Structure 1
Amino acid sequence: MTRSQADSRSLALARDAVLYTLPLYEMARMRAATCPRRRREGAFADERPDGTLRWVNHFIHTRQLLGPQHRQVVTPNNDTLYSNAWLDLSQGPLLLEVPDSAGRYYVLGLLDFYTNPFGYIGSRTTGTQTGRYLLHGPDWQGELPPGATAIACPTPAMWVLGRLLVDGPDDLPAVHALQDRIRLTLPDGGDAVRAYDVGMQPGEQLGASPQQVQRYAEVVNRALRENPPPAAEAALVQGFAALGLGAECEGTPLDASLVQQLAVALEQVLAELARPMPSALGGGWTLPVEIGASFGSRYAERAQVARNYIGALGMEEAMYIIADCDAQGRPLDGRQPHELVFPSGQLPEVGAFWSLTMYDKGDCMLVDNPIGRYSLGDRSPSLRHEPDGSLRLHLGAAPPRDPGRHGNWLPAPAGPFYVALRLYVPGEAHLDKTFSYPSIHAAEA
């Protein structure tokens, strides 16, 4: 083998290693950023301001629907409240109890530490009645608590990310009450919350500098030790040890040559992941990401989702469809009025609900407007259908001239915009991509 061939093989291995392990780094970083330092009762997991202890097995609930004033995440949804908890099952299983939501849509998505959305508790899968679920790690064996259903989790560390439907501000107290009745305990009912060293600071960034590469290896090697890969992938991961990545490599700094190889691979992979390849659906609509129950061996796809859409649900639970141009590829701009018309009998097909949300193209945030309306959908009481049964939505910075159409107006910025069509529990026509999405087109001023 020539030197050139050897270098190419080494770079290919480094790229494969980064694509495989990057989700572990992103999950560790997300855990550090969102796991609470302080319990609801007020106690800090770590009194040191720069400490890395956090509370795990502990739900955190958002209490407000997101609006333009919330700037933490891009393309936020305005339909649900979030509830999330980071779990550590290495000390044993945990009991998750959910209340009767009285028919209200909700979902608790379960993600393993490799970002696979391996399970769901909620309306689509388990119903809306009360339920008890024993979440356990891959090696646990034991007896179930009375009335509990076992859910085997692929990794000891996992993320529960929940969404609860809210029908406007007046509905918030009812949803808060439901959130407060979602409980995590030990199987005997004892307190499950405990301090856990997440090992990272929230502001750490992924990059290709020597220091960042060393840090990447530290984080990934710990994650691989605590969350071993599936048996079918063990041999693949074992090959990464030649690059200093692996459970057995924990605590061993990378030498300069390995740092250089991984730096090149990280730089290449991060550049690739910054260029997402959406799936075109026609009419100017695209599907940014397609997620199933597991990514399997699609490691590049898994890395892209981890980097750009971490926490996204699988398509059977929700689809997020984006339009920032019309059918001819012309960018959407709120200074020109636009319309989106769903013909009679051709509304989105969903088992739960759908909504169309407006965003400013400049900052990817919700658009401040005088009527405080950020989305329209099948739950919007203001919507009015045309005499022929079609639904005509008006998108623009200015309201329609006809006051009778103001209920169908989705305010846009006075500049470039995009919209997200969210489909919760999408029908088969959406899943198999046979649904005909009407294009957004310019309307008369």
Structure 2
Amino acid sequence: MTDGQHAMTGQVDPSLSDAEVAELAEEAYLYAYPMLVAYGFFHRQVAGPAAPERQAFNRFTHFRELASPALNNTIPWVNTDTLYSAVWLDLRAEPFVLTNPAFEDFRFHDIQANDWYTMCFVTRGTRDVGNGSRTYLIAGPDWTGPKSDFVDEVISAESSIVKLFVRVVVENDGDVAAIHRLQDQYDLRPLSAVLGEPTPAATLLNLPSPESALFEGGFYECPTPAFIRVFNALMIVATIHPSERDLFARFARIGATPGAAFDETALREHHVAAIMRGIGAARARITKRLAHLGDPINGWTYPLDLRGGRDVLAGSTRAFECRAVLAKYAIWGPPAEEVVYMNCDVDADGALLNGADAAYTLRFDGPVPAKGFWSFTVYDAETRLLSPHPSGRYKRGDRDRDMVRAGDGSLTLYLQNQPPAPDRQANWLPIPLKGFQVVARLYWPTPDVLDLSYKPPPIVRVR
């Protein structure tokens, strides 16, 4: 029986030892994990019965309000700087054409696309193409058509299903209506509609329904041999990169082959046990890395290897581990060149931040290292959600024009629960009467952030 036949019958290559089966299962689960997590979101948003999160396939869902402690406060470390639009695109039948509106010179915006593997394969916006209107043709891996004259750029994906995001920075509370008008000007249409041609026939997207019992903490992780069956099905809308053909030949020895049938109930008991050991080992690696995302710099952690596309998140077992960790930590993260998130939960002395009996300062002697925009946001240490505060304030950033710099150009933020003296209130960042974290968002970070030579200042306890 050949390796391919083993895959088709849901059997493991009998020449493998149980240790080899476990090793392959660990490697395959680590590789598949981001796709499993992403498919859980996909099923909830567009593919499942009634799609409880109600996002339409091939049509933008515009999120019209900024998150706050009272609104959309269910996402850990939720972004409160931009309004999002999001869409799942089905590129199997034809490409889609996306045109963004022109933006004011001061307004940061970007488009980001992630493939079925969850890797970001493109960002376009203020940082690299400016603020003019541009038209993109977004194509799947099998499209070979010509580039039309009205298209500024063809963007090719490794998968036929992609997740597309649009971000537009909000300058202030009164700016939201202007963002709504910009969101409504994004034009997304299938290529046939743009050309006035007949719409290609659609084919049914036949994917398995994620079993509710295999969700953990809101994530579809499928930590059983069934992951091979689901992984095989998910791979029908992705292509195998040439650099990974040998890897998939190895996966085939435990039945993991794109598009192949797999019956986990037909496995022998010792193979089930070996696969479960491999899954457990992969999950332990993810958990271990989540507990240590990197070596802090003055208390701030920002793991740059958990951001980006194929150049960062593929090509080695470590890269696949990073991709899996990113799926659990912050799925669909943009590349570091676009934005860096820095997280801090300790003060300069290494003590956990806690507003119950302490106040802190954060002082920048020079500019905050971001060319686009920046912010510092406070989150609950345990839930990582925004913490309500009577002031209604939970972040400070460059768009807070009332913030005051000292005569020497330095900027000091005052992190405390109660208001500081009147002359410091513009720089006040309220904190809860309990443990908290601070997340810095640096959009279009400066080169010294990307090469880790920048040393962010510590958060200093002052009482």
TM-score higher than 0.5 here?
yes
Residue 405 of structure 1 pairs with residue 424 of structure 2: yes
Residue 140 of structure 1 pairs with residue 150 of structure 2: no
Q: Secondary structure at the match of 1:82?
A: strand
Report which structure shows greater RCO (CA 8 Å, sep ≥6). 2
Choose from 387, 400, 406 the match for 1:367.
387
> Aligned ranges for residues 38-437 of structure 1 at < 5 Å?
49=50, 55-69=56-70, 70-103=72-105, 104-148=107-151, 149-189=153-193, 199-200=208-209, 205-206=214-215, 213-254=224-265, 255-257=267-269, 258-275=271-288, 276=290, 277-290=292-305, 291-294=307-310, 295-297=313-315, 298-335=319-356, 336-343=358-365, 346-400=366-420, 402-437=421-456
Shift of 1:337: 0.9
| Closer/same/farther in 2, CA of residues 52 and 363 from structure 1, 3 Å limit | closer
Aligned partners of 1:170 and 1:281: how far apart in 2? 37
Map Cα deviations across residues 68-87 of structure 1 (whole Å, 9 max, x no partner): 12332111111011111111
Count of residue pairs brought into register by the alignment: 427
Shift of 1:193: 13
| Closer/same/farther in 2, CA of residues 72 and 193 from structure 1, 3 Å limit | farther
TM-score (norm 2): 0.85
Shift of 1:307: 2.2
Aligned partners of 2:371 and 2:201: how far apart in 1? 35
Q: Secondary structure at the match of 1:356?
A: strand
Question: Match for 2:424: what amino acid?
Answer: R
Gaps of 5+ in 2: 1-13
Q: Secondary structure at the match of 1:315?
A: coil
| Closer/same/farther in 2, CA of residues 66 and 23 from structure 1, 3 Å limit | same
Map Cα deviations across residues 200-232 of structure 1 (whole Å, 9 max, x no partner): 35956357x998525422321111122122122
Q: Secondary structure at the match of 1:233?
A: helix
Aligned partners of 2:64 and 2:302: how far apart in 1? 29
| Closer/same/farther in 2, CA of residues 181 and 261 from structure 1, 3 Å limit | farther
| Closer/same/farther in 2, CA of residues 367 and 211 from structure 1, 3 Å limit | closer
Aligned partners of 1:301 and 1:359: how far apart in 2? 24
Map Cα deviations across residues 329-381 of structure 1 (whole Å, 9 max, x no partner): 111111311100111xx222212011100111122111211221121111112
Question: Match for 1:339: what amino acid?
Answer: T
TM-score (norm 1): 0.89
Q: Give the aligned CA root-mean-square deviation in angstroms.
A: 2.8
Aligned partners of 2:435 and 2:59: how far apart in 1? 40
Aligned partners of 1:90 and 1:318: how far apart in 2? 30
Q: Which has the higher helix share?
A: 2
Gaps of 5+ in 1: 38-45
Percent identity of paired positions between Structure 1 and Structure 2: 28
2:111 touches 2:165 (CA, 8 Å); kept in 1? yes
| Closer/same/farther in 2, CA of residues 196 and 181 from structure 1, 3 Å limit | farther
Aligned partners of 2:244 and 2:439: how far apart in 1? 36
Shift of 1:102: 1.9
